Amino acid sequence: MARRSTMLSRRGLLTGAAAIGGAAALSGGLSACGAAGAASAADPDQIQFWTLLSGGDGGTMADMVAKATGSGAAYDVKTTTLVWGEPYYTKLAMAATGGRPPELAIMHASRVPGYAPGGLLDTWDVGRLAELGVSQDDFPEEIWKKGMIGDKVFAVALDAHPTVLMFNPEICDKAGVLDSDGRLRKTESPEEFIDLVSQVGGQTKGTPPLSYGYLGDGSQMFRLFYTFYTQHGAAMTFPEGGKAEIDDDIAVESLQLMQRLLDGKLAVQRNDYAAALAEFATGRSGLLFTGVWELRSVKEAGVPFDMTAIPTLFGTPAAYADSHAFVLPHQNEVDEHRRDLTYRFVADLLKGSYEWATAGHVPAYLPVTQSPEYAKLTPQSHYADVAERVNYDPAAWFTGSASNFHSGFGNAIQPALMTGKGAPGAIDAFRARVDRLLKTQNPVDPDGTWKP
């Protein structure tokens, strides 16, 4: 304290400045906050829009928004991109709980069953949508129904993004597995498909011909597994409070096909997502199991490629998919004007979703996919039929993209894929996990009192 006297003046200045600044902030600041809080209020035509799309998808979405707002639209849109996955869904739930969320947000359709029961989402007014030219008839049935709980619509799909098979037409042509139209030869059983893959293997110079990466990626494992499972025409249902209904034989057969493919000759036995993608994108392998969203990155890599639905190997056409869908996060006080603008904005985005197809996704809005313009779009039009055979995650509060269910599936299955052994045990482990989750009430509605 000996220095107090010499430091008084400077400190006095500091304290004074802080006090003045503080007072200014208290008066001016709070009005400023009023202004900031009202920044949206000041512009009654601005819609806050949250997405989890970044990279190529984010850029495409930004273009679509710019197009929608540019043409003398009645609304202005502020798009906010949040970190993909769990951080996004956490923030969205917290915002909806607080009652002052953005007017509009994008969600994976598979997450809606876990979200809606807590009152986190407002419902879409079907009549209002229809006035704007958006109705159930404009969507493939499965995709529209995925946005519904009971008879209420909680989500309107923008797209379906299924798992598909990419192939390198040059390599496949040399291997003689293409038909006269340059499409991959049809295969209708696991054996036929394995024959096709080994034939391609003759042209890949020692690299296994099929690329599939899954290590540490539960979603990636579930996508392929569930594609094969549903191709059996089998369902997988998770009744709340009950036991998982999984057809064990079919599940084991599906997993065993994955094991047969991952034998080290047809496909590298232990590969991760990025490495598998790189194998294909550098032209070393001829086939790749992946999602449509990789279209752009493979295109940019400059390798010749085409895409097709995953061949129907067990009788029923089916592919795992999810949808990006529009939702209305629950607001305590709805601004009807803004909500009206939100409806219009969504209708405009759906009608402009041709652009979205360039990112690989299959637009959900049929007038777009049925347009002559879209039919000319390659390779997109080569797999547009997948939209008719999509299979989402089994509905439950705990399933969906970026959920723990996927990582739990991965933990149960990965050892079997890595060793090529113990498929029945892996399915048992998976079932046990699901049963444990089914015993727990949906935490957004722990007393189970919610009704749609």
Tell me which residues in 99-158 interact with other proteins (CB under 8 A).
99-101, 117-120
Closest CA to 357 of 345, 376, 374, 382: 374
Of 68, 93, 112, 134, the residue at the interface with other proteins (CB under 8 A) is 93
Q: Sort residue 283 into left (φ over 0), alpha (ψ -120 to 50) or beta.
A: left
For the bound state, the minimum distance from the C-beta of residue 358 to other proteins, rounded and expressed in Å, comes to 15
Stretch that binds other proteins, among 48-56, 69-77, 297-305, 369-377 (CB under 8 A): 48-56
Q: Which of residues 392-451 bind other proteins (CB under 8 A)?
A: 407, 441, 443-447, 449-450
The residue from 90, 189, 282, 370 that contacts other proteins (CB under 8 A) is: 90
Which of 278, 274, 284 lies closest to 298 in space, CA to CA? Answer: 278
Task: Kindly tell me which residue out of 45, 67, 73, 82 binds other proteins, with binding defined by CB under 8 A.
Answer: 82
Which amino acid, one-letter code, is at 63?
D
Residues 91 and 83: their CA atoms lie apart, in Å, by 10
Q: Which amino acid is at 149?
A: I
Which of 26, 235, 334, 375 binds other proteins (CB under 8 A)? It is: 26
Stretch that binds other proteins, among 56-64, 142-150, 188-196, 305-313 (CB under 8 A): 56-64
- The crossing angle, in degrees rounded to 10, of helices 218-231 and 404-419 is 80
Nearer to other proteins, 39 or 130 (CB): 39
In the bound state with other proteins, the residue whose beta carbon lies nearer, of 114 and 286, is: 114
Q: CB 95 → other proteins: shortest distance, Å?
A: 4
Regarding 23 and contact with other proteins (CB under 8 A), the answer is: yes
| C-alpha 187 chain-centroid distance | 28
Longest Cα–Cα distance of the chain, Å, equals 94
Least Å from the CB of residue 264 to other proteins:
24
Cβ atoms of 280 and 269 within 8 Å: the answer is: no
Interface with other proteins: number of residues (CB under 8 A): 72
CB of 312 to other proteins, least distance (A): 34
Q: To the nearest whole angstrom, how small is the minimum distance from the Cβ of residue 18 to other proteins?
A: 5
Name the one residue in this structure whose structure tokens are 């798992």.
Answer: 163
Structure tokens at 337: 């004007």
Least Å distance, CB 33 to other proteins, is: 4
Cβ-based nearer residue to other proteins, 56 or 208: 56
Q: Where are the beta strands (DSSP E) in 199-356?
A: 210-211, 287-291, 306-309, 319-322, 324-329
List 44, 66, 87, 182, residue binding other proteins (CB under 8 A): 87
Rounded CA separation 114/398 (Å): 6
Q: Which range touches other proteins (CB under 8 A), out of 8-16, 202-210, 221-229, 237-245?
A: 8-16
Q: Which is nearer to other proteins, 94 or 235 (CB)?
A: 94
Q: How far is the CB of 32 from other proteins (least distance, A)?
A: 6
Rounded CA separation 36/16 (Å): 27
Quick check: helix, strand or coil at residue 360?
A: coil
At 3, list the tokens.
């220095």
Select the residue interacting with other proteins from 62, 73, 278, 301 (CB under 8 A). Answer: 62
Q: How far is the CB of 445 from other proteins (least distance, A)?
A: 5
Tokens 């052994």 sit on residue = 421
Residues 424, 430: Cα–Cα separation, whole Å: 10
Which of 3, 205, 376, 451 contacts other proteins by CB under 8 A? 3
C-alpha–C-alpha distance, residues 216 and 196, integer Å: 28
Q: d(Cα 92, Cα 358) in Å, to the nearest integer?
A: 27
Sites for other proteins among residues 180-199 (CB under 8 A):
none
Please tell me whether residue 223 adopts helix, strand or coil conformation: helix
Instruction: Please give the residues from 268 up to 327 whose contact with other proteins meets the rule CB under 8 A.
Output: none
CB of 341 to other proteins, least distance (A): 18
CB of 42 to other proteins, least distance (A): 11
> How many other CB atoms are found less than 10 A from the CB of residue 52?
23
